[in-house]
Amino acid sequence: MFKGEVYTIPKEKSLDRPRYWYFPGSLNAQKGRLFLRCCSSSLDFSTIDFRCIEYPEYNQTLEFAKICPNMSIPVLEIDDKIITDSRDIQRYLTEKYPSKGDAAVAADEGKTKKMEEFIESCLTWDEYLFSYRKLPNFLGASMHHIRLVCLSDAILDAAKDNSGINIDEDALLDGRTIREAYVRKIAQIRSMIQIGCEAETPELTKRISANDDCMDEIFRRASTMLTENSGVGTDCDDNNDASLLMGGDSTNIASADIYLAVAVIRMKWLDESYLDSKFDKYPNTRLWWEHFLTLPEAQVLLEDNDKRGTVLRMIKSGKPFKMLGCALGIYKAKPLPDDIERDVQAELKKLNEAYFSSN
Closest separation in Å from C-beta 123 to ligand GSH: 8
6 has which bridge partners?
83
Helix axis angle for 283-292 and 272-281, nearest 10°, is: 120
**List of residues 6+ apart from 255 with CB closer than 8 A:** 35, 90, 94, 99, 101, 102, 105, 115, 119
57 near ligand GSH (CB under 6 A): no
Closest separation in Å from C-beta 56 to ligand GSH: 4
Cβ atoms 261, 288 nearer than 8 A: no
Classified as helix, coil or strand, 49 is strand
Cβ atoms 125, 260 nearer than 8 A: no
Q: How far apart are CA 254 and CA 245, in angstroms?
A: 8
Instruction: Specify burial of residue 74 (Cβ count, 10 A radius: 0-12, 13-18, 19+).
Output: buried
Closest separation in Å from C-beta 85 to ligand GSH: 4
Among 24, 56, 98, 247, binds ligand GSH (CB under 6 A): 56
3 near ligand GSH (CB under 6 A): yes
2 near ligand GSH (CB under 6 A): yes
7 near ligand GSH (CB under 6 A): no
Closest separation in Å from C-beta 41 to ligand GSH: 25
Query: Measured from the CB atom, is 243 or 255 closer to ligand GSH?
Result: 255
Among 18, 20, 21, 28, binds ligand GSH (CB under 6 A): 28
Classified as helix, coil or strand, 50 is strand
* DSSP secondary structure code for residue 16 in this structure: S
**List of residues 6+ apart from 17 with CB closer than 8 A:** 47, 48, 49
Among 53, 59, 76, 301, binds ligand GSH (CB under 6 A): 59
3-state secondary structure 79-102: CCEEECCHHHHHHHHHHHCCCHHH
34 near ligand GSH (CB under 6 A): no
Query: Measured from the CB atom, is 184 or 278 closer to ligand GSH?
Result: 184
Q: Using CB under 6 A, which residues numbered 170 to 209 contact ligand GSH? A: none
Query: Measured from the CB atom, is 58 or 292 closer to ligand GSH?
Result: 58
Q: Are strands 19-22 and 6-8 parallel, antiparallel or unpaired?
A: unpaired
351 near ligand GSH (CB under 6 A): no
Query: Measured from the CB atom, is 67 or 232 closer to ligand GSH?
Result: 67
Instruction: Specify burial of residue 292 (Cβ count, 10 A radius: 0-12, 13-18, 19+).
Output: buried
49 has which bridge partners?
19
Whether the bond into 74 is cis, omega within 30 of 0: yes
Closest separation in Å from C-beta 139 to ligand GSH: 14
Q: Using CB under 6 A, which residues numbered 80 to 139 contact ligand GSH? A: 85-87
Among 18, 20, 22, 27, binds ligand GSH (CB under 6 A): 27
Q: Using CB under 6 A, which residues numbered 138 to 157 contact ligand GSH? A: 147
In the sheet with 19-22, reading across from the earlier edge strand, the strands are 6-8, 81-83, 75-78, 19-22, 49-52
Cβ atoms 292, 253 nearer than 8 A: yes
Closest separation in Å from C-beta 77 to ligand GSH: 14
Among 53, 73, 129, 154, binds ligand GSH (CB under 6 A): 73
Closest separation in Å from C-beta 75 to ligand GSH: 8
CB-nearest residue to ligand GSH? 72
Closest separation in Å from C-beta 248 to ligand GSH: 26
When computed from its CA atoms, the radius of gyration of the chain, rounded to whole angstroms, is 21
Query: Measured from the CB atom, is 3 or 349 closer to ligand GSH?
Result: 3
Binding site for ligand GSH (CB under 6 A): 2-4, 26-28, 56, 59, 71-74, 85-87, 147
